[in-house]
Amino acid sequence: MSSPGDPDTRVRILQAAWRLIEESGVNPRLVDIAERAGVSRQALYLHFGDRAGLLVALVQYIDQSLGKADLLQRIVEAPSGVESLDRMVEALSIYSAKVDNVVRVLEAAQYQDDAIAAAWRNRMTSRRTQVRAIMQRIADDGCLAEGWSVETATDLCYTVIMPGPWRELVHEIGWTPKQYAERMKRVLHRSFVVE
């Protein structure tokens, strides 16, 4: 058996968990993850402590694997607040399509585990902070529509672009991620931007 610090074993476990969630859309049993990764269940506990530790590490691994930092940098480097908003919506739509099953598992698990709830809230707080920075840029550019403050625009925009509405529009109603991005940009522009 591998030592707890073996990075190859850790990655194998994370990849196994990710594949199982993607295939089933549900939170897999630890024994199934261990079997898929070719390790003992004890190895999971040695590497991650518990199910919550595994799920939190999985989100970090997925973000790194999919280049989330580069996506965020592209948003920040946009030449204007409006372009930053557009880039964020496009990135969220593409990214959401790649991680939706994992996001659903985390959303559901947050109600059973305080550590997962804290990780989820941290993730959503980070997203809200990003939205606020974009709304502040739009306001600083003189493009925030009348009747909105940075705070109220942030509140509504953040809520509209949460994973639930994306999932409803794409999975249930049948929009493509591209249609979601284009239509959501149109709605956000009409709501918050003086063009």
On the question of pLDDT at 128 being above 80, the answer is yes
- pTM, entire model: 0.86
The model's pLDDT over 172-194, given as tens digits with 9 standing for 90+, comes to: 999 999 999 999 999 999 999 99
For 5-26, the DSSP string reads T-HHHHHHHHHHHHHHHHHHSS
- How many CB atoms lie under 10 A from the CB of residue 92? 22
Whether domain 7-49 has CATH 1.10.150: the reply is no
| DSSP conformational letter for 80 | S
Calculate mean pLDDT across residues 154-164.
95
pLDDT digits (tens, 9 = 90+) for 63-119: 999 999 999 999 999 999 999 999 999 999 999 988 898 888 888 888 888 888 888
Question: Is pLDDT at 2 greater than 70 in this prediction?
Answer: no
Q: What CATH class is the domain 64-192? A: mainly alpha
Say yes or no: do domains 7-49 and 64-192 share a fold: no
Distance between CA atoms of residues 111 and 108, nearest Å: 6
Q: Where are the domains of the chain?
A: 7-49, 64-192
Give the whole-angstrom CA distance, residue 143 versus residue 87: 17
